[in-house]
Amino acid sequence: MQKTILSIETSCDETSIALIKTTETTDGISVEVLSHIVHSQANLHAEFGGVFPALAKREHGLNLVPVLLKVIKESKEKESEIFKDSKPTDERIQEEIKKILEREPDLYEHIVRHLLGVSGEGIDAIAVTAGPGLEPALWVGINFAKALSTLWNIPVLPINHMEGHLVAALFLPTQTGQNGIIKTPKFPMTTLLVSGGHTEIIHMDTWSSYKIVGQTRDDAVGEAYDKTARLLGLSYPGGPEISRLAERARKENIPAPIELPRPMINTPDCDFSFSGLKTAVLYAVRDNEFNEDEKAGLAREFEEAIADVLTTKLFKALTEHGAQSCAFGGGVMANKYLREKLTQTVQEAGSNIDVYMPTHNLTGDNALMIGLALAVQLHHDISVAHEPIRATGNLKF
């Protein structure tokens, strides 16, 4: 079975679209990436010190069609049978699209100007992120997906953003280019997802059985990085900034000026709490005048505190679940130090446990992972949720 999937991601501050062709093989699902474009708004939001939802919504509206036009151009270069010229769109369909995009006038304008003469023939399904995320941002992507679905008469299916992060880890790229294969992991599998909005440990016994066995009770890890970065006068997003400082401190052996807590490290569950860490940094910078080296030392201590808590809880989850595989996902997994520490933890929990780390370019938000998640559902016959699709800010597994 072969499926061609167009996927759309707008849950936060990345506008991203991908087109993939997936085929079942004995090894897993083989994926040809015809195009994958990620347009980041991070620079615009940096001014506000975090993601500003109304700005994210507006930018998605302005960027979706230009991003899709790039996807169309790249895909056509690889596969001439796709996105061929089509006959003029029926007026009734155009009216329907106008209604769907009532609240997105920019998008409607762009579609009328650029897409009415383009055929969607050959695409089997459209995957769109339905949550979790910022609802105004999610709605733009969903309404765009619905408009394309009406224009091209293709089904649109909602995808959970965190499922995308999880499946991204199982995508092993081939030696060259962007193509790859979605491996079927040995189950049971335990996954640690760490992003700007989430920190959770999930147990899976099959492709479709997700059980959250641990989660943060307050801030997510990425959020703790971002808030701590702000306290240290660093720019948004704070994760890469802190990890850069921490790395320098480790290299130059700069010690921590103070000791930070390891919240909930000894509790018998797999839950987390990171807000106390940020508060401890808040008091430390309020009560001291740290120089640049001391700030680097503090960043190092912060990162080590995060690593200590994550590795302790992951070890517990892996052994309790008898995991055969362990996957990681989310923007924080771009962090080299955490990648190393967590990989080491899996090896300590069992030398037979397979480790699945996402490639660096798939740690942050992207549409490829959304397409990969739908590919898993379609190829493994997992029932896919259908319309009505709505944005759900706190969508759960």
Q: Which helix (H) or strand (E) holds 212?
A: strand 210-215
Contact 8, 367 (CB under 8 A): yes
Please report how close the Cβ of residue 18 comes to ligand KG4 at its closest, in angstroms: 16
Shortest reach from residue 378's CB to Zn ion, in Å: 22
Q: Which partner from the list ligand KG4, Zn ion, none does 197 bind, CB cut-off 5 to 8 Å by kind? A: ligand KG4
Q: Which of ligand KG4, Zn ion, none does residue 226 bind to, with CB < 5 to 8 Å depending on kind?
A: ligand KG4
Q: Which is nearer to ligand KG4, 21 or 341 (CB)?
A: 341
Binding mask 315-354 for Zn ion (x = CB under 5 A): ----------------------------------------
Residue pointed to by tokens 């699709």: 389
- The DSSP-derived string for 280-345 is HHHHHHHH----HHHHHHHHHHHHHHHHHHHHHHHHHHHHHHT-SEEEEESGGGG-HHHHHHHHHH
Question: Judged by CB under 5 A, does residue 14 bind Zn ion?
Answer: no
Nearest residue (CB) to Zn ion, 37 versus 100: 37
Rounded CA-CA distance 18/33 in Å is 8
Count the site residues for Zn ion by CB under 5 A. Answer: 2
Among 63, 150, 195, 273, binds Zn ion (CB under 5 A): 195
Q: How far is the CB of 84 from Zn ion (least distance, A)?
A: 34
Tokens standing for 370?
Answer: 């959304």
Q: How far is the CB of 332 from Zn ion (least distance, A)?
A: 10
Q: Is the omega angle on the peptide bond into residue 237 within 30 degrees of 0, that is, cis?
A: yes
Residues 6 or more apart in contact with residue 370 via CB below 8 angstroms: 7, 8, 9, 18, 127, 128, 129, 159, 161, 164
Q: Give 185's strand partners.
A: none
Instruction: Name which position in 365, 367, 373, 379 contacts Zn ion (CB under 5 A).
Output: 365
Least distance (Å) from ligand KG4 to the CB of residue 134? Answer: 10
Residue 335 binding partner per list Zn ion, ligand KG4, none, with a CB distance cut-off of 5 to 8 Å that depends on partner kind: ligand KG4
Binding site for ligand KG4 (CB under 6 A): 12, 195-197, 222, 225-226, 237-240, 243, 330-332, 334-335, 364-365
The 3-state secondary structure of 16-58, one letter per residue: EEEEEEEEEECCEEEEEEEEEEEEECHHHHHCCCCCCHHHHHH
Which of these ranges, 83-91, 123-131, 295-303, 361-369, lies near Zn ion under the rule CB under 5 A? Answer: 361-369
* Smaller CB separation from Zn ion, 38 or 318: 38
Shortest Cβ 110–Zn ion spacing (Å): 25
Which tokens belong to 282?
A: 């808040």
CB 236 to ligand KG4: min, Å: 8
- Write out the two tokens for 113: 């100007």
- Please give the distance of CA 294 from its chain centroid, rounded to a whole number: 33
Give the footprint of Zn ion on this chain (CB under 5 A). 195, 365
